[in-house]
Amino acid sequence: MKDGDDRGYKSHDGSRDAFACLFDESVVKNFSGALVVLTRVLTPLGPLIAGATEDGLCLLEFAEHPQLKTRINRLCKEIHCVVTPGENAHINRVQHELDEYFSGKRTDFNVPLIVPGTDFQLQVWEELQRIPYGETRSYEDIALAINNPRAFRAVGLANGNNRIPIVIPCHRVVRANGTLGGYGGEQWRKRFLLDLEGHPGFN
């Protein structure tokens, strides 16, 4: 969903200026490597910044995330790229899939993903994608699933470093005692997503 739509979705709340600050035109003009195109996607949770290379989606971060620029800079170092405003087929695809997801017409995502990370992070993120829509797992469950049962705190850190929330559903990981646990997009968004997927009542 793009900026021109106003179907009851939340406004950008000043994120447009912050979005503009992410780009350095002189760097883009003098760079011969890969490009990540970025655009704003409006959702019921507020605007997201979506980024994709020619190979797939590599970023879907809440526009007001306090570490947004740091995360983008780190991503650029990891995949040796620079960012520029724009869209491509993967951006358009995730916009369409998000619209379907928030309208209750989609339960999983098919957009190709680019997810650079450590071996441990990749194990965790792959396991997150195995959690079915409508279900949750604890941090301990994820640690057991990747054969590293003592690493549940590290699982929490890997969750927090997920650059593609919603699509890689870190919101489906909760504490073993039934409470929400942390979420980089703030707990109210995590609660909204779990409610949407049929898990109301989390504290």
Of 58, 76, 81, 170, the active-site residue reads 170
Query: Distance between CA atoms of 172 and 141, rounded to whole angstroms?
Result: 11
Element (H, E) at 91: helix 89-102
The two three-digit tokens of residue 169, written as one number: 């559903």
Query: Distance between CA atoms of 18 and 13, rounded to whole angstroms?
Result: 10
Question: What φ, ψ does residue 49 adopt, rounded to 5°?
Answer: -100, 115
Q: Are strands 81-85 and 137-138 parallel, antiparallel or unpaired?
A: unpaired
Residues in contact with 55: Cβ distance below 8 Å, sequence separation at least 6, in sequence order: 112, 114
Q: Which of 129, 32, 125, 40 is nearest to 91 (CA)?
A: 40
The two three-digit tokens of residue 19, written as one number: 């979005």
The two three-digit tokens of residue 88, written as one number: 């491509």
170 as an active site residue: the answer is yes
- For tokens 């640690």, the residue is 143
Catalytic residues: 170
